[in-house]
Amino acid sequence: MRVSEASSTDFGRIGSNMREGVLEQKFLLQGKPGSPNNYLINVGRTGAGGWTAPSHRHNFDQVRYVIKGSFPYGKGKSLPEGRVGYFPESVYYGPQDRPEGLEMMVCQFGGASGYGFASVEEREAANEALKSVGEFKDGIFTWYDESGKKRNQDGFEACFEKVMGRKLEYAKPRYEDLVLMNPASYDWIPEESPGVFSKWLGSFTERNTRIGFVKIEAGATFPAGMQSSIELLFLSKGKVSLEGKTYGLHSAFEFEANEGPVPVKAVEEAEFFCLVLPKF
């Protein structure tokens, strides 16, 4: 079990030039580098002047939960406040033109293909190394090869290949598009534990990635860590106590597969955004 409190974590501006603009993030929890379901869960905020990115795709999965504002994930398309989006590996989205003040919880993690996820530290180090031989602009990395020919590549792809030391591969897309969900349209379902309710928005791929919410009434206890893969909880409402300590809004919790039951008690009515990572 691991816990990270957003209240005690400062926003840090991303140093990478893979994209354009100002994006500040609180890195809450990260997985194990090299593991197929390595992950990063963060709270991001768009800074002054906004943030842009061209149309692109990734060889890992992403889940986005809009906390404040509206997320423009493509031309003329936006994910409103309170909505959740599943961004599957290999599926294109964008271009993005994020407005100042937009806040989202984002989890990036290795998808069902098993290609994994490169950590922020690894990507930033690769970014610095690549800047010595080329230039990042508008999300594109440009350099000249040994024959003097100009080359362009998506900034993320270039950094990934630098980190991994191999050509970036994309799995055959399992989905034709993003999966966008409105949690307000789902009903709360009572769980076996008194005062605990859930609303599962969906299960995805053959490795059973699961996305949903858990609500705990004041004074009730939720048995966390009962999933067959890594369970991530993001506190979106209220306060909870765990092992004698109280945690507030936007705290993140990680439980290993079958680690529970770990009793998480609601100090006041609380809601968790819940993500179960793919099972390998």
Band of residue 19 on the pLDDT scale cut at 50, 70, 90: low
Q: Structure pTM? A: 0.88
Averaged over 24-36, what is the pLDDT?
Answer: 91
Q: What percent of the chain has pLDDT over 70?
A: 96
> Which tens digit of pLDDT belongs to each residue from 41-88?
999 888 878 888 889 899 999 999 999 999 999 999 999 999 999 999
Please provide the size of the chain in residues: 280
pLDDT at 262: 98
Whole-number pLDDT of residue 21: 67
**Better-scored residue on pLDDT, 164 or 252:** 252
The 3 state secondary structure assigned to the chain is: CEEECHHHCCCEECCCCCCEEEEEEEEEEECCCCCCCCEEEEEEEEEEEEEEECCECCCCEEEEEEEECCEEEECCEEECCCCEEEECCCCCEECEEECCCCEEEEEEECCCCCCCCCCHHHHHHHHHHHCCCEEEECCEEEEECCCCCEEEEEHHHHHHHHHHCCCCCCCCCCCCCCEEECHHHCCCEECCCCCEEEEEEEEECCCCEEEEEEEECCCCEEEECCCCCCEEEEEEECCEEECCEEECCCCEEEECCCCCCEEEEECCCEEEEEEECCCC
Count how many Cα atoms sit within 13 Å of the Cα of residue 263 in the half-sphere of its side chain: 10
Measuring CA to CA, how many Å separate 240 from each of 103, 219, 278, 279? Answer: 22, 9, 26, 27
Mean pLDDT for the chain overall: 92
Distances (CA, A) of 274 to 38, 89, 139, 178, 232: 17, 20, 31, 19, 6
Confidence tier at 89 by pLDDT (50, 70, 90): very high
Nearest one of 191, 183, 135 to 158, comparing CA atoms:
135
* Residue 116 in tokens: 């994994």
Q: What is the pLDDT of residue 232?
A: 98
pLDDT confidence of residue 204: 98
* Four-residue CA torsion sign, 213, 51, 126, 146: positive
Query: What amino acid is encoded at 8 in this protein?
Result: S
More confident residue, 23 or 229: 229
For the ranges 117-121, 151-155, 218-222, the lowest mean pLDDT is seen at 117-121
Answer yes or no: is pLDDT of 14 > 60. Answer: no
pLDDT surpassing 70 at residue 123: yes
pLDDT of residue 15: 46
Give the other-Cβ count within 10 Å of 5's Cβ.
Answer: 16
Average pLDDT, integer, range 212-230: 98
Confidence of residue 13 (pLDDT cuts 50, 70, 90): low
Confidence category of residue 160, pLDDT binned at 50, 70, 90: confident
CATH superfamily of 182-276: Jelly Rolls (2.60.120.10)
